[in-house]
């Protein structure tokens, strides 16, 4: 299956992409991860991307589409994939449609995770990470045993720079402006399946699987 996963920041998109890709045995392809790999390799493309991400902007559509559609041509994506974080604009969706059309393939379904803004702000502003072992906690929903210390490796927990309330609100505004029109674009093509992103990882992934079972029928 060829699936697109859309959702606002903090809706659990990355986590759900990994769960669903495992269930479907397809690669989860994240535009953010592809960009981070370029940046950490220090390529010219990575430097260009970083100028946009540092400014809190989206990377231009043509460039983003070229990077992602290039990845889709790799052999592991030949029989299906799950796109996470791309497309994010109508322009990107049009470029994706064009690129897939050349190979005679189409997107089967678009799963759109939804969560009220207040809950997103609460989730992201309370999120703390352990840079040493990658553990994520929440100051209210899953607090560490010792404040500001990782339960696993006892290292200090940190807050991501873009998890402050001001930045979260800016990211939500960008989502409303650039990505909400994309939901309407996919709805007009009968491809959109809204999924409630509230609850546990398991509850949300069960909802996504039920939505996809309806597509497969
Ligand atoms: P993410 O990890 O998905 O939040 O992506 C990190 C950053 O990469 C974003 O803030 C954007 O600057 C850039 N980015 C990722 N995906 C896209 C996309 N589909 N279109 C434009 N920019 C993107």
pLDDT of residue 157: 96
pLDDT of residue 136: 87
Predicted confidence (pLDDT) at residue 55 exceeds the cutoff of 80? no
Residue 163 inside a domain? The answer is no
Print the domain residue range for 96: 2-115+179-216
In the chain, the number of structural domains is: 1
pLDDT of residue 127: 92
Residue 160 inside a domain? The answer is no
pLDDT digits (tens, 9 = 90+) for 133-142: 988 899 998 8
35 lines ligand 1 (CB under 6 A): yes
CATH number of the domain where residue 74 is located = 3.40.50.300
6 secondary structure, DSSP code:
E
pLDDT of residue 162: 79
Helix (H) or strand (E) holding 60: none
pLDDT digits (tens, 9 = 90+) for 67-107: 999 999 999 999 999 999 999 999 999 999 999 998 888 99
Residue 29 inside a domain? The answer is yes
- The catalytic residue among 123, 127, 128, 207 is 127
Residue 61 inside a domain? The answer is yes
pLDDT of residue 52: 86
Residue 79 inside a domain? The answer is yes
32 lines ligand 1 (CB under 6 A): yes
| 123 catalytic residue (yes or no) | no
Tell the burial category of 96 from Cβ atoms under 10 Å away from its Cβ (0-12, 13-18, 19+): buried
Question: Judging by DSSP bridges, how do beta strands 192-196 and 109-114 pair with one another?
Answer: parallel
- The catalytic residue among 2, 71, 123, 171 is 171
Substitution site in 7, 13, 16, 31 for ligand 1 pocket (most atoms within 8 Å of beta carbon): 31
Helix, strand or coil for residue 29?
strand
Predicted confidence (pLDDT) at residue 179 exceeds the cutoff of 90? yes
69 lines ligand 1 (CB under 6 A): no
| 13 catalytic residue (yes or no) | yes
Residue 60 inside a domain? The answer is yes
How confident is residue 145, by pLDDT bands cut at 50, 70 and 90? very high
Residue 161 inside a domain? The answer is no
Predicted confidence (pLDDT) at residue 56 exceeds the cutoff of 80? no
Residue 6 inside a domain? The answer is yes
Query: What mean pLDDT value characterizes the chain?
Result: 93
How confident is residue 199, by pLDDT bands cut at 50, 70 and 90? very high
Question: Judging by DSSP bridges, how do beta strands 127-129 and 136-138 pair with one another?
Answer: antiparallel
């Amino acid at each position: 299956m060829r699936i697109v996963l859309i959702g606002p920041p903090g809706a659990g998109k990355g986590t759900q992409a990994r769960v669903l890709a495992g269930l479907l045995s397809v690669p989860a392809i994240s535009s953010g991860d592809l960009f981070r790999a370029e940046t950490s390799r220090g390529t010219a493309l990575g430097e260009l991307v970083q100028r946009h991400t540092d400014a809190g902007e989206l990377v231009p559509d043509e460039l983003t589409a070229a990077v992602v559609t290039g990845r889709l041509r790799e052999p592991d994506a030949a029989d299906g994939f799950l796109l996470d974080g791309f497309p994010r604009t109508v322009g990107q969706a049009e470029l994706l449609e064009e690129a897939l059309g050349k190979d005679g393939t189409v997107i089967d379904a678009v799963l759109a995770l939804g969560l009220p803004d207040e809950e997103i702000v609460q989730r992201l502003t309370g999120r703390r990470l352990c840079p040493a072992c990658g553990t994520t906690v929440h100051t209210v929903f899953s607090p560490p045993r010792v404040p500001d210390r990782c339960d696993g490796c006892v290292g200090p927990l940190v807050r991501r720079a873009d998890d402050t309330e001001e930045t979260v609100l800016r990211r939500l505004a960008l989502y409303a402006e650039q990505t909400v029109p994309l939901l309407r674009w996919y709805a007009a093509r009968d491809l959109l399946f809204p999924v409630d992103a509230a609850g546990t990882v398991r509850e949300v992934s069960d909802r996504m699987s039920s939505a996809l079972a309806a597509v497969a029928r």
